[in-house]
Chains A and B, each alone.
Chain A
């Protein structure tokens, strides 16, 4: 099943690229992502009733547990909604003859992201990581403006730096444990007396992998490529890049740390110090990302810096190093994916309709585009962490995991960060609904709302924000089972 998803997306990518006709390419994109979403849900049902699926292809093991299914569903369903929304938006950003290339790159990106998550063998993971960074840089550059070329170059070079570090870490782990699969590494690391003799290898390897993943997933000091890449890319690309691409690398990191080393050894070895560093850097990212977001005047750059802050939350959850911390981080992956993809698509709609990216000139927008701004409000409130929206559940999970692990001081940055989120999302909403009308966008007056059929995927994402905010029980149970399954690898 896992192989079927990867192969389907890659074949779809080639088909969309080759067809040369933008209408056919759109149809292929929509159809393939729809089938991918169905396959991901079917795979989740299969794994839920039949247990882990382990297969192998070209000598590389693929292990599908609950967490992999969870990520496959996020990639499938949110990828489908973004591609659906891009049907009506993409021609605003991308030239007509580049549209087949865009859909080809999007499908290739989704396929390689699934592969990053599915592969248990590190060689397969490494190749997929590299392929996905090419495709991700591609969907930034496809807009073909100079600032996109600059952003793409920056993204590409820092991605390569990140994957070099990850590769080095993988080899040190291989030298120490004699295995290139997460299961084998776990078996070796958890064997008696291993950490006593070879803990230095494991620490160095994980220090390098952490550094590499920090570049790939934009942890604060290594985030410098993110605002350029996400801010200048076409809006559907920004939505994919921030809600899906960053998450694949983080899940790989979670699998390496909690599957490959395991909770017991983390608690009793030098890995604890490494994760403490990850936790503190995550806290700094939460605060600094929000402060930088407040300073922005461009709507897409503001949302991009908000992603930096949200990555900080996820890394803080990983750094707590307990099962509840990992659960909070995984749930935040879902919360951020649903909310941020909606926000980027809303920002894209606003830019498309008013030709204005400047936040200070959005007064009165609520009267011109009431549905769009209502969707922005839902996204913003979820990011701040207001109850009834998914962001609140996520922050609640972080708070319980902090209290559980007795790192009480973390509650202070958590609440400060929520306030900072409010400081940059609420002014936009207030200005749009109650502020003085800006001449730049209200002239000529009249509704600038996009037709509801084009807004439907955005509305579905907002419905998702509310549904997971009110009724998150099944997902939480599923993730708890998934964490138990992950920590059982290698036993």
Chain B
């Protein structure tokens, strides 16, 4: 009997289309795996009936000889940042607990239209603010990975799409949606040894996605290989008149265009990413990545992105500023939590609701954002950060004169333990040092597994491409995948 947990998106789709098995069999098998993996806390709610319903529709369509969609019969996990009609959507925050959208996000609707089904809503960092999945109101997500030291310390699955990464690595689902504001697809993918791509800003509609920082938020797929990412990105992307920043461009045939021959491609290696004291394992993996791309026919060139060190501080002004504005909508009036202390007026109700509903990291970022946007400080912080952001984007523009793609590590380390970076918010922020620049510039960027650390934990290689050139990013990812020989899996302890 087929072990459906071992099949990826392409394999499930093909098996269903060929009649090797029924979509309902896949959905039943994965529903059972999801429900047996509660120790990982990857899902906030499970929706087995939704997975079955979608699978039955696909099986019926096939029996009737109707054409099947790009994701036909593939059950996926949906990050709980995407509004799903009739299914609770919380952004992992208490303030949205019990919120049941009366509408469907464009990206999730696109996926259902393509024949995918929903196994459940995935846990995440609250409002996508975090790099370890420790800010969820619904508890930490645990990575299926453990260090090879014989201990069983709980490790971070990365964040903010940590439910997505944990569930995919644990083979509860072949793929899941993620969102990336400053690395939230790439860093969790790197931490658990899977692939994930953040497309060019504007490729995937933000409509119906709970907003964090609107100029940075971008949805993308996470899966166990590059081809599966290409398939799912095709299903997710597309122009949406309901999102004013949606790109009015046709969706390229990324899957059909996959080609790991990189002859004629120039790969830039940014010297500023060789941080002093860079982790030795990460550095070695990066060198391996360079060798693999060379082997695939690419030419390696040294480049400079001189404003790299300013990307993180600029991000930690811009993202909180946008968040403080976006999250003003949680007022206890129209939806979500209301905390009305005895005798309180409207203003006190707002303050009490938001204090009770937002987690600590969310409150911290709203307050930073409020401060940098406040009278007297706006120019010094926010305008300056937006100018530095323009310079960071210009660095990439200049680099494209001498290269077509950039290769760097995804994160400065392999996964850390839960609780290890909680004492100081800054040390957590620094984990996104390699991921944030591409976010600020809106560029497509992908993480693919690059090898294991000495502790036996996955590390990710990041490929950054020119705007709209997801194809080249995916192709380089494929070239790495074919050469890295990465087959390691987390042991099934849960």
Decide if A and B are genuine partners. no
